[in-house]
Structure 1
């Protein structure tokens, strides 16, 4: 398939900005135009603009890990502070803390997943030693992978 595909800039800061921009907006990490998601967290099979095959994308539990470790821990600290400082009744936590925690940990999942997929593509990241197996399973030529599409 012939397509115009601007490559992400190669310098460190520009590469980082490209990854964050594609991840935040849910755009294809190769062309920056096509959609990365077909639903809230489900990745499309191929880019509707440049045809990038997303078989390489394997963020696995990364978005949940980052959401829980980076976002939920400070939120928990806030809820504990609220309890210690004011000792509110349980209904106050049900009305404030539970929605605060749920929204605070679920809302960033999509941008984090987009960031991980874009980072995986831009940095050509794949599990070490899986190149030959990947070629055999997906019918690509030996020495090529999905980043060479």
Structure 2
């Protein structure tokens, strides 16, 4: 077992944890389901028992998805416009809008899984097994 820093925490590899999250699997074991619903992260992994309710993905996944899909969509529209054959204006409506919606819906859980995997691997947002406040409960901190 290798340790990462002076806190003697075990090393958690970042990329495998993020890849497990992209596959919508537990970042720790890669076997248990990460989501109970479309974007609802399970409280604990069914396979290894890792607590996953600490995650704070919040606005990062939608922001990343908007950035990725926006760049791809703008590139596709520019390619369609700059081509030698003109496209009918309704083509954008019937092709690009469903493509943008579907790609966003597909990428969103994968991106959220990667963010949760990153947070787990880097001991962020409660994923650290050693509580820095000792045994004080969350509601007693002020």
State the TM-score, normalized to the length of structure 2: 0.73
8 Å CA contact 2:17, 2:28 repeated in 1: no
Asked if the contact 2:14–2:122 (Cα under 8 Å) also holds between the matched residues in 1, the reply is no
Alignment check: 8 A CA contact 1:19 1:119 kept: yes
Match runs of 1:33-48 below 5 Å: 33-48=31-46
Displacement of 1:82 in angstroms is 1.6
In the TM superposition, 1:119-138 aligns within 5 A as: 119-126=118-125, 131-132=132-133, 135-137=136-138
In 2, are the aligned partners of 1:28 and 1:47 still within 8 Å (CA)?
A: yes
Partner of 2:19: 21
**1:72/1:104 contact within 8 Å kept:** no
In structure 2, the residue matched to 1:30 is 28
Using the TM superposition, give the Cα deviation of residue 43 of structure 1 relative to its aligned residue in structure 2, in angstroms: 0.7
**Separation in 2 of the partners of 1:67 and 1:135?**
37
Per-residue CA deviation, residues 73-101 of structure 1 (Å, 9 max, x unaligned), is: 23223213323545433321111111121
Instruction: Give the TM-score of the pair, scaled to structure 1.
Output: 0.70
Query: Larger RCO: Structure 1 or Structure 2 (Cα < 8 Å, ≥ 6 residues apart)?
Result: 2
Aligned equivalent of 1:114:
113
Higher mean alpha-carbon deviation, 84-93 vs 26-35, is at 84-93
Asked if 2 retains the 8 angstrom alpha-carbon contact of 1:29 and 1:118, the reply is yes
Greater helix fraction, Structure 1 or Structure 2: 1
Segments of 5+ residues of structure 1 without an aligned counterpart are 1-8, 143-149
Question: Please, what is the CA RMSD of the aligned residues?
Answer: 2.9
Q: Name the CA shift for 1:98/1:56 in 2 (closer, same or farther; >3 Å).
A: same
Q: Is the 8 A contact 1:22 1:28 kept in 2?
A: yes
Deviates more, 1:75-84 or 1:93-102: 75-84
How far is 1:32 from its partner?
A: 2.3
1:74 corresponds to: 72
Length, aligned pairs only: 126
Gaps of 5+ in 2: 1-9
